[in-house]
Amino acid sequence: MPLRSCLLLSMALVISEASAQYELGAALGVYRNSLQPRKSDGHASAQFWHVSNPGLIASVFYRERGNKHTNLGFELQYTRKSFHARYSDGGLAGSYGTDAHVDLDLLHVNITLETKLNERGNAVIRFGPQLGFKLGGWMTGESWVSVPYNYSRSAFQHQAIPDFGGDLRFLLGMGFRSGAKSGSGVSFDPFLSAAIGSILKEAPGAKGMEYGMRLGFFLLREKTTLTQWVDRKTPTPPSGPNW
């Protein structure tokens, strides 16, 4: 290989490696939460009220900054939801239901794409799915069962939650950064999150919307990003015809 070609290739590798950046950070914020029942095709019904607002949200995140237009990010997000719920189902043969106050702890794994709004990348649009998992929680209230010639109620207190769990959501938000040139910085992240799945696992289910803002602190690292590392570890496909 000619000397000039070797020099150009070496410079390209150095520039590519120098441009590899990612953020590691944590954020705290507040959000407002709404809950409504989904439409029922049968006799199932649900009501939600006393939804605790505003709620607190905490997260840790990894966000790549090496690409020119769009970057990948991952986030672990914790929220606690508190509300009162009444849901029931049944028919001519009988019915059953629950009336309780619920405190639900959730962890969402956010997989996001960030699209730059300016050349410096200090303003972005962020979007992607949120995969929710139940960490724990409690409910206090009563349940009932009604069948012909028999009606029974049972009260419970601080009981584990069988009927609520994690949900699938879609996140749409923005990000504003400052101070990144010094190796660390702060971020301001307003967001909107819409439920695709339901936290209520009994019919008819639930839907809802969250919106809020977070203030974060991050460290900027000049190292190989996760996607670059995966790309290097991925075997080169064999040569052959183009499919």
DSSP-derived letter for residue 162 is: S
> Would you say 114 and 70 are in contact if contact means Cβ atoms under 8 Å apart?
yes
How far apart (Å, rounded) are the C-alpha atoms in residues 35 and 233? 44
- Short-list 196, 217, 216, CA closest to 206: 196
Q: What are phi and psi of 86, to 5 degrees?
A: -135, 120
**DSSP per-residue string spanning 49-113:** E----SEEEEEEEEEE--SSSEEEEEEEEEEEEEEEEEEEEEETTEEEEEEEEEEEEEEEEEEEE
pLDDT tens digits for 59-111? 999 999 878 889 999 999 999 999 999 999 998 889 999 999 999 999 999 99
Q: Is the peptide bond before 204 cis (omega within 30 degrees of 0)?
A: yes
* 4-49 confidence digits (pLDDT tens): 444 343 333 333 444 579 999 999 999 999 999 999 988 999 999 9
Predicted TM-score (pTM) of the model is: 0.86
Q: How far is the CA of 90 from the CAs of 30, 38, 64, 123, 146, in angstroms?
A: 38, 16, 50, 51, 9
3-12, 47-56, 126-135: which has the minimum mean pLDDT? 3-12
